[in-house]
Amino acid sequence: MMNAPAVSIIIALYNAEKYIGETLDSILAQTFQDFEVIVVDDCSTDNSVMIVASYLEKFGGRLKLSRMKKNSGRPSLPRNKGLLLSRGEYIFFMDNDDSITSTALEELYTLAKEYTADVVYCEHYYTADVDLKNIQKTQQQNGNFPFVDKPTLDSQSFPDKVDKVIQYLFVAMPWNYMVKRNLLIENKIIFPDIIRDDSIWTWNVVFCAEKVLRVPNAVYIWRENKSSITRVEKTPTQVINFWLNSSIMGTKILNETLNRFRFFQENPEFHYAMLKCFVYGSFSQILRANFKLEPYEFYEAIRKKFPKNLGEQDVLIPFLCAFIDEQQRIIQQSK
């Protein structure tokens, strides 16, 4: 049997014929070559699969192409399948329309081994327009914690981790992380099949890891593709429906995830803080949509999203609307 590679790069593929070639080219150009690439196609309807297949020979056996039996509608399930097919010591996820710098894998893997890290977290990345031009390094600070200027092992304290999560130090984009495969497999960390799956996955990784290495390296080039599922233009009512699904299903899954940790079982105040953080993230999107709706339209959009058999609890919906309306007033007054 062939030795397991150092890094498995996992790419969920769907209708990316314009970009997937550039993504694969950036991987071929790596100064560190001990890797495998696993592309999982989510039933693309364009030439994406054909383009990936044309790269098989170039990768010399290091590129695997797998396919979902039916379209899942988001990258969660293809990523999970890619993880099961992977053999690498570390896992690195990429989106099918992005790129990495030529030294990306070398930088991250070298740091991971030097610090015996479970997770290497890049606090910076690059943004680019759809043509991969105007590339700029992100500078915006997340939360009240300063960026590191050198590789730094983060605190193992659970209260510290929670504090940093709810203040958005750890951004919820999986391609900012190189993660030990064993950490994901042993703790059964997968992407839930919901919008905002990245948040739950990221937080689970941070809480399970003993050694999280924060680094100043910027190696990922994120293409601002307006056709992605979260960026497609929607009506206010569609925005509400879209994010309500995230709030309802995501809160349930996050609650189940937190219950796996004794710390959250014994410290309900931190458990509540995590749930509040997640719900607020979803409802901030709803609040923005609410600016474009009349109050009764907002009420009707929310009411229709609740199951018909909710029964007597229907009365809670006006209270929910009143709360959101009050938050809207606070936002307007703070401007």
CB-based burial, 129-161: b 16+ in 10 Å, e otherwise: eeebeeeeebeeeeeebebeeebbebeeeeeeb
Whole-angstrom CA distances from 157 to 73, 148, 149, 175, 326 are 37, 18, 21, 24, 36
User: Does 302 or 89 have the greater pLDDT score?
Assistant: 89
Of 194, 212, 222, nearest in space to 101 by CA: 222
Residue 8 has pLDDT above 90, yes or no: yes
Contact criterion met (CB below 8 Å) for 145 and 241: no
Binning pLDDT at 50, 70 and 90, where does residue 332 land? low
Q: What is the pLDDT of residue 263?
A: 97
Choose among 6, 175, 171: nearest CA to 75: 175
Q: Report the C-alpha gap between 192 and 177 in whole angstroms.
A: 18
Residue 312 has pLDDT above 80, yes or no: no
DSSP state of 5: P
Task: Write the pLDDT tens digit of every residue in 106-134.
Answer: 999 999 999 999 999 999 999 999 888 88
> Which of 17-21, 66-70, 249-253, 317-321 is the least confident region?
317-321
Angle between helices 295-305 and 236-258 (to 10 degrees): 50
Query: What is the end-to-end Cα distance of the chain in Å, rounded?
Result: 62
Give CA–CA dist 119/205, Å, rounded. 8
Q: Is the dihedral of CA 164, 190, 28, 90 positive or negative?
A: positive
Residue with tokens 């879209």: 242
Give the mean pLDDT of 314-333: 63
Range in 65-74, 122-131, 239-248, 320-329 with the lowest mean pLDDT: 320-329
pLDDT at 316: 56
DSSP strand E in the chain: where? 7-13, 35-41, 63-67, 90-95, 99-100, 119-122, 126-128, 136-137, 152-153, 177-180, 212-215, 220-223
Mean pLDDT of the chain: 87
Judged against a pLDDT cut of 70, whether residue 335 lies above it is answered with no
* pLDDT at 59 > cutoff 90: yes
From residue 291, alpha-carbon distances to 145, 297, 316, 335 in Å are 32, 11, 22, 14
- With residue 253 as reference, give the H or E element that holds it: helix 236-258
Structure tokens at 27: 């991987």
Q: How far apart are CA 78 and CA 41, in angstroms?
A: 7
Q: For residue 1, what pLDDT is reported?
A: 45
Q: What band does 144 get if pLDDT is binned at 50, 70 and 90?
A: confident
Instruction: Determine the 3-state secondary structure of 191 from DSSP.
Output: coil
Tens of pLDDT, residue by residue over 213-257, are: 999 999 999 998 655 554 455 676 677 777 776 677 888 899 999
